[in-house]
Amino acid sequence: MIPQPQVRHDQAPVTESDLLLQVRDLRTYFRLDEGMLKAVDGISFNVYRNRVLGMVGESGCGKSVTAQSILQIVPKPGVVQGEMLWHRDGQTVDIGGLDPESEEMRAIRGNEIAMIFQEPMTAFSPVHTVGNQLMEAYFVHGKLDEAEARARAVELLDLVGIPAADRRVDEYTFQLSGGMRQRAMIAMAMMNRPRMLIADEPTTALDVTIQAQILRLIRRLQAETGAAVLFISHNLGAVANLANDVAVMYRGKIVEFGTVRQVLKNPQHPYTVALLQSIPGFGYRRGDRLQSIRGSVGVPIDPPDECPFRGRCDRFDPALCGGSMPASVEVEPGHQVACVLYEARS
């Protein structure tokens, strides 16, 4: 077994009573013919009520699989291991220990924790009406009043800014524009007043003006309901806008964690630095040209125990980077980095 870094967030500036979800050493592996694909490989983080945790990283770093793991909806042959302590009213459930098909898990899914997906195009069934799919979220959680479900669906469609909601509720999703569809998806996630919302790249498939509207909508709903949000995006601008904390993922691992200010203004991990330099408006060193990160993330099949970024790293040093996966080090209160540059210094 690969030794895992212990990531700690004890200094998060919030009270323990706001702690909603504690993820500890989460591993989600897919056993494939080619070997073991370690999509998520020993990550830990906390999610707090009334706070937005941003999760960034290039495509293929394991962000979506993390989201799926929390809801236990990872497709076959994925296997989820690790602890996910879900706190509700003085009661704690370990989601990691629940059978994905159990009643207990289903009662959390879409009810206490809801999810918004990236592709509003394909995330709805094309042969059922918007209302049918919204109301289903209501019905599967034991609320059976038809009229009440419909009223709630219309109310939410209206709340997320869909005009003529009482008419739209009976339309099919292919009759809505991409932006309207994403609004409907958000409405669907809010049907049962979830305590935590996972938004997996909710704006990636939309054009820029619509993106801004959807982000404002998520922020408004978050503020109004006090829900916790796990906001996954590779749009660093959106994360800067919306999130309180940021986790930077690379190849199934969290390589840097801190508040938005810490991570985006004062990035420490070479990967975070490279990521920021590759994005317009986030030039870490002002005046520099935009640089795309050379190489690609790759697929972590049977990954060796070493820094996953070493092959692409500008600051790769054979003398330092030869060892196993560096442990996470606190470089300032609440700001952790998993890189030998800091490990050596401390």
Partner 1 sequence: MINYLIRRLGTTLITVLVLSYTIFAIVQIPPGDAVDRQVRLRQTQGDVVTREEIETLRAQYGLDRPILVRYYQWIRGFLVGDLGRSTSGRRVNDLIAERLPQTVALAVAGLIITYAIGIPVGIYSATHQYSAGDYIANSISFIGMSVPGFLIGIILLYLFYKWFGLSIGGFFSVEYKSAPWSWARLQDLINHLWVPLFVVAVGSTGGLIRTMRATLLDELSKQYVMTARAKGVPMRKLLLKYPVRLALNPIIASIGHIFPYLLSGQVVIAIVLNLPVLGPLLNTALTNEDIALSSSILLIQSLLAVFGTVVSDVLLAVLDPRIRFERGAH
Ligand X SMILES: Nc1ncnc2c1ncn2[C@@H]1O[C@H](COP(=O)(O)OP(=O)(O)O)[C@@H](O)[C@H]1O
Binding residues vs partner 1 (CB under 8 A) = 68, 71, 73, 75, 101, 106-111, 114-115, 117, 119, 122-128, 136-137, 140-141, 172, 174-175, 185, 188
CB pairs under 8 A, 24+ apart, for 329-332? 330/8, 331/268, 332/258, 332/262
Q: Pairing mode, if any, of strands 91-94 and 35-48?
A: unpaired
* Site mask for Mg ion (CB under 5 A), range 11-50, x = bound: ----------------------------------------
Q: What minimum distance in Å lies between the beta carbon of 55 and Mg ion?
A: 10
Q: Which is nearer to ligand X, 156 or 255 (CB)?
A: 255
CA gap 336, 173 in Å, rounded: 43
Q: Which is nearer to partner 1, 75 or 163 (CB)?
A: 75
Partner touching 131 among partner 1, ligand X, Mg ion, none, CB below 5 to 8 Å by kind = none
Element at 22 (helix H, strand E): strand 19-32
Cβ neighbours, 10 Å, residue 119: 15
Q: What minimum distance in Å lies between the beta carbon of 62 and ligand X?
A: 4
Element at 248 (helix H, strand E): strand 245-250
Q: Which is nearer to partner 1, 40 or 108 (CB)?
A: 108
Q: What minimum distance in Å lies between the beta carbon of 91 and ligand X?
A: 30
Indicate which single residue of 1, 10, 33, 75 sits in contact with ligand X (rule: CB under 6 A): 75
Give me the amino acid identity at 281.
Answer: G
CA gap 248, 143 in Å, rounded: 39
Residues in the chain: 346
Q: What minimum distance in Å lies between the beta carbon of 88 and Mg ion?
A: 27
* Site mask for Mg ion (CB under 5 A), range 61-100, x = bound: ---x------------------------------------
Q: What minimum distance in Å lies between the beta carbon of 311 and ligand X?
A: 15
Indicate which single residue of 60, 82, 120, 202 sits in contact with ligand X (rule: CB under 6 A): 60
Indicate which single residue of 56, 61, 135, 248 sits in contact with ligand X (rule: CB under 6 A): 61
Contacts for 85 with CB less than 8 Å, ≥ 6 apart = 21, 22, 24, 92, 93, 94, 95
Q: What minimum distance in Å lies between the beta carbon of 249 and Mg ion?
A: 10
342: which 2 tokens? 């800091």
CA gap 211, 183 in Å, rounded: 11
Partner touching 136 among Mg ion, ligand X, partner 1, none, CB below 5 to 8 Å by kind = partner 1
Please compute, for residue 60, the number of CA atoms within 13 A of its CA located in the half-sphere on the CB side. Answer: 8
- Are 273 and 337 spatial neighbours (Cβ–Cβ below 8 Å)? no
Tell which positions 261-300 bind ligand X, by CB under 6 A: 299
Q: What minimum distance in Å lies between the beta carbon of 105 and ligand X?
A: 18
CA gap 44, 25 in Å, rounded: 5
Residue 95 touching ligand X (CB under 6 A): no
Partner touching 137 among Mg ion, partner 1, ligand X, none, CB below 5 to 8 Å by kind = partner 1
**CB-count burial class (<10 Å; 0-12, 13-18, 19+) for 8:** middle
- Which residues of the chain form contacts with ligand X (CB under 6 A)? 30, 37, 39, 57, 59-65, 75, 78, 299
- Which residues of the chain form contacts with Mg ion (CB under 5 A)? 64
